Structure 1
């Protein structure tokens, strides 16, 4: 009897996790304004899975779940899969580690590091990169 109860409890717990979809996270007014400024005059393109050539000093942290990557006339928006806790606050840095390839790709795990102590204080997965390209003047 006890052996049958454990799987039943596990299934009940799993059903509770998927019963209600998570509400989309809200973005602060500051983050919304920053994104609007960065993407003004740009139009979105088809998402890409990887940025093969990027420099960390071209990465802009908007908040705990949004990164921007500037590359010439294109700015890539990345909505992280989950929240990288503390990333949006000063004193923390995003450290990525890729295995088996070049660049930064959808699904790569990034760690948030406290720059004073060097300790990992959070982590999250990188999402797709949506390119926003400046509209050419006619």
Structure 2
């Protein structure tokens, strides 16, 4: 019986290893990887939320919205420390745009318990540079 238990523990540890390796990345490293090969554009006040296909929370740092091939990075004006990548992002808008004057909330994924409000900042677009014409 102890051999089976050891085998199960070893198997579980091996399965968890890739997950642990990615969780070692700092928030700055995660953001840097997402933006690799992209160029920052001029910050904008609003994005079309109905066109956003995904949003990613970078722990204590930023929210990244994907709109088409563009990534918009929003560094909140206040309470960025309450951003956690395993939380659920709750967004309430009036209309189809999400703007730098809006407030979003996060909630714990398991308990549903709300966290601090997050006051958004400007959205910085990151795009892949166009290939040079031949």
Q: TM-score, normalised by structure 2?
A: 0.70
Secondary structure in 1 matching 2:26: helix
The one of 103, 118, 129 aligned to 2:123 = 129
CA contact under 8 A between 1:84 and 1:112: conserved in structure 2?
Answer: no
Q: CA deviation at 1:87?
A: 2.6
**For the residues of structure 1 that align with 2:122 and 2:46, how far apart are their CA atoms?**
7
**For the residues of structure 1 that align with 2:52 and 2:129, how far apart are their CA atoms?**
25
Q: CA deviation at 1:135?
A: 0.6
The one of 19, 36, 41 aligned to 1:40 = 36
Secondary structure in 2 matching 1:67: strand
Q: CA deviation at 1:54?
A: 4.3
The one of 71, 81, 87 aligned to 2:83 = 87
Q: CA deviation at 1:61?
A: 0.9
Q: CA RMSD in A?
A: 2.2
**For the residues of structure 1 that align with 2:59 and 2:45, how far apart are their CA atoms?**
21
Q: CA deviation at 1:47?
A: 0.8
Question: Unaligned stretches of 5+ in structure 1?
Answer: 1-27
User: Higher helix share goes to which structure?
Assistant: 2
1:68 corresponds to: 64
**For the residues of structure 2 that align with 1:126 and 1:134, how far apart are their CA atoms?**
24
Residue 116, structure 1, aligned to residue 110, structure 2? yes
Question: Unaligned stretches of 5+ in structure 2?
Answer: 1-23
Query: 1:59-95 CA deviation, whole Å, 9 max, x = no partner?
Result: 01111230111122211110011124543252x2121
